[in-house]
Amino acid sequence: MVRSVARACWLVGMLVWAACGGPADGDGGGDGQDPGNASRPGIGRSTAAPVGTPYVLPGGVELLQPIPGYDGDCIPMEQQSQEEKGSGALVRLCVALRNTASTPVRVELPAGLIFVSDELTTQNGLLVQGVPLEVPAQQTLYIPLHLYCLNEERAPSSPWDTFTLGPVTQDPRLRELISLVEGKFLPVPGLTEVQAAVSNITDGSGLTPQDRESLRSLPALGANPAPRLER
């Protein structure tokens, strides 16, 4: 009962605060497709499972599922210094990878990877840049992972939500965005211009010229830019 009340209060607060922030102001988008995106599974208003290329982990590495929403208690004390990965403020997960092999294994979570909410009231999350990892031999690596949201009208993730590993999207509009932010510096938790561009794709009519210019102008990795955090 306490947990249900706490979750309800949290969701109300987060819905008021964000709900993905909405499409950016501008000329209304680029390609004139259906703003509801009903034919694009798992994106925007669609309640279907997302589609794309299946993602397979390297041999010897297992993903612990379901994947919980992030809170401070999901990371073991000995890994509390683990660097947060990804970018995005509205979907935060605690990903755990177990290496059963006798040697360390390198893993890359690819750009375009979708994490699917088990609740249709909570946003699915999109990884817009690849995340390289090394999982130590015979250990479980816990990673705080940030993602951008794919469903503007749903609630941000909470610590009580659970997710499953989805496919790597091949949606051409999302792949264009991914190509535009490749090699760019995206801080944790994220950037408003990136989330606005994602929302214009998922719940609007596509990237605007302003979106493309904004993404192209992001600083390159290694440029040591001043922080520009999600508001």
Task: Pick the range with the lowest mean pLDDT from 10-14, 140-144, 205-209, 225-229.
Answer: 10-14
Average pLDDT over residues 181-210: 96
**Both ends of the chain: CA-CA distance in Å?**
32
Looking up tokens 């979907």 gives: 91
Closest CA to 165 of 74, 96, 105, 226: 96
Domain borders along the chain are: 19-216
Are 134 and 97 contacting, i.e. CB atoms less than 8 angstroms apart? no
pLDDT recorded at residue 29: 46
Q: What is the mean pLDDT of the chain?
A: 85
What is the rounded distance in angstroms from the CA atom of residue 10 to the CA atom of residue 86?
A: 23
Mean pLDDT of the 148-162 span: 97
State percent of the chain over pLDDT 70: 80
Query: Which tokens sit at 135?
Result: 């999982």
| Residue 136: pLDDT over 90 | yes
- Amino acid (one-letter) located at 157: S
| The pLDDT of residue 9 is above 80 | no
What span, in angstroms and rounded, lies between the C-alpha atoms of 135 and 27? 45
pLDDT of residue 52: 97
pLDDT of residue 38: 54
Instruction: Give the model's confidence band at 25: pLDDT under 50 very low, under 70 low, under 90 confident, else very high.
Output: very low
Burial label for 212, CB within 10 Å (0-12, 13-18, 19+), is middle
If residue 144 lies in a helix (H) or strand (E), which one and from where to where? strand 140-149
Separation between Cα atoms, residue 105 and residue 107, nearest integer Å: 6
Cβ atoms within 10 Å, residue 8:
10
In terms of C-beta density within 10 A (0-12 exposed, 13-18 middle, 19 or more buried), how is residue 201 classed? Answer: buried
pLDDT in tens, 64-118: 999 999 987 888 888 878 889 999 999 999 999 999 999 999 999 999 999 999 9
Is residue 206 scored above 70 in pLDDT?
A: yes
3-state class (DSSP) for residue 133: strand
Q: Say what the pTM is.
A: 0.83
The SS3 assignment for 29 reads: coil
Give residue 135's pLDDT band: very low, low, confident or very high (50, 70, 90): very high
Q: Which two tokens stand for residue 169?
A: 């999207």
Cα dihedral sign for 20, 226, 216, 172? negative
- For the ranges 5-9, 82-86, 153-157, the lowest mean pLDDT is seen at 5-9
State mean pLDDT over 142-161.
97
Beta-carbon contacts of 175 under 8 Å, excluding residues fewer than 6 positions away, are: 112, 169
State the pLDDT confidence band at 59, using cuts at 50, 70 and 90. very high
